[in-house]
Amino acid sequence: MASGFGSSDEEVISGINITPLVDVILVLLIIFMITAPTIYQSAFQIKLPQAQSADSTPHTPLHFTVNQAGELMWNQEHIAWESLSNRLKSLNKNLTEESALISADEKTPHGVVVRLIDQLKSAGLARFALDVQNRQ
């Protein structure tokens, strides 16, 4: 006899097993968390000027990057020019002992770099290093 609707031989599915779906979503989340910083860093591209006397510069917590459009980053985080002085004051450090590393694109206008140095000097910094690429 053909089995009809509601036959006792058939198992009724009362719910959907979402465990495989959750596993896939967690794997995708981990992949995005790993690749997001790489994508974010490459979104702000600069081409450093070249110099014969380029040295490796020590790591500093005050690393500023300026692209050719004049946008500012502080330690890989976008920051508005207007909020720079307030952020420097909130460090609660003696900035006269610190040094700042400035990485500016070779096509960045000179005035933009001077503006950054001026704001850093106003906050109390006295030592600066300009980042360059070693010419080979």
pLDDT at res. 106: 85
pTM flag (> 0.85): no
Across 4-8, 67-71, 87-91, least confident range: 4-8
Spatial CA neighbour of 121 closest among 96, 93, 94, 91: 96
In percent, the amount of the chain with pLDDT more than 90 equals: 14
The CATH fold assigned to 50-134 is Nucleotidyltransferase; domain 5 (3.30.420)
Q: Is 92 exposed, middle or buried (0-12, 13-18, 19+ CB in 10 A)?
A: exposed
Contact 47, 106 (CB under 8 A): yes
Q: What pLDDT score was predicted for residue 25?
A: 95
Query: pLDDT tens across 95-112, in order?
Result: 777 888 888 888 889 899
**pLDDT top residue among 111 and 42:** 111
Per-residue confidence band for 28, with pLDDT thresholds at 50, 70 and 90: very high
**For range 121-135, the mean pLDDT:** 81
pLDDT value of residue 87: 87
Q: Would you state the pLDDT for residue 122?
A: 87
Domain ranges (residues) in the chain: 50-134
Average pLDDT, the chain: 79
Phi, psi (rounded to 5 degrees) for 50: -105, 150
Mean pLDDT of 40-66: 66
